[in-house]
Structure 1
């Protein structure tokens, strides 16, 4: 993990909510995001843990890559306990507070990863694309 700002943030979307291209202006927001009032994101370093914790049994996920610079003003770095920090760090997750808007204006590209008895193969193949 690093304390430098990331180039990209990532939103993992389950197979039950397909992401089609061309992207809509506003994608459907998950129930957990609606309840939280913000969009849960991950850095490249956090993606493996997020996959294994929350998407362990998913057959596939849509991975949305979001340039950090385009949403930086609306991102808060928070711990799972709700503590806030000014920048990324160990245990701090990016949360997007922009009125729950995530769509073609925020998302640079979309990847589809399949779960082949675990996420290791997908993560290995994603290395050139999954950037901090």
Structure 2
């Protein structure tokens, strides 16, 4: 039996609406950097806090890493951590799970209970 690893894509409200129209993610940040920014389960909370604080309408998508093929590269980023970067399209239909994130007591998007 194969053990699956998961990576996560966070999308603000506008980027999520665009992704739903296109069927794949297409953010300005990803286009500028030339790859799709992803996070591991351990990184996703910090990514939310740093880049999505105070935002509403934030969505979180979970993908099986092994199903994304060989186009994921682990590259150094924030604080020397290795982050997964996808060089290719990230199709929403390939997501294993999806959450529309609720706000916490401070108005920030909160991780779903099953990821805490």
How does the TM-score come out when normalised to structure 1?
0.70
Alignment root-mean-square deviation, CA: 2.7
Moved segments of 4+, more than 2 Å: 16-20, 23-28
Structure 2: any 5+ residue segments left out of the alignment?
none
What's 1:102 paired with? Answer: 90
Higher helix share: 2
Number of residue pairs matched? 111
Kept in 2: contact 1:19–1:62 (CA 8 A):
no
Structure 1: any 5+ residue segments left out of the alignment?
82-89
CA offsets, 1:64-94, max 9 Å, x none? 111111014111001127xxxxxxxx71000
Rounded Cα–Cα distance in structure 2 between residues aligned with 1:13 and 1:46: 15
1:114 partnered with 2:111 = no
How does the TM-score come out when normalised to structure 2?
0.79
Residue of structure 2 aligned with 1:92, choices 82, 95, 108: 82
**CA, structure 1 residues 28+102, in 2 after alignment: closer, same or farther (shift >3 Å)?**
same
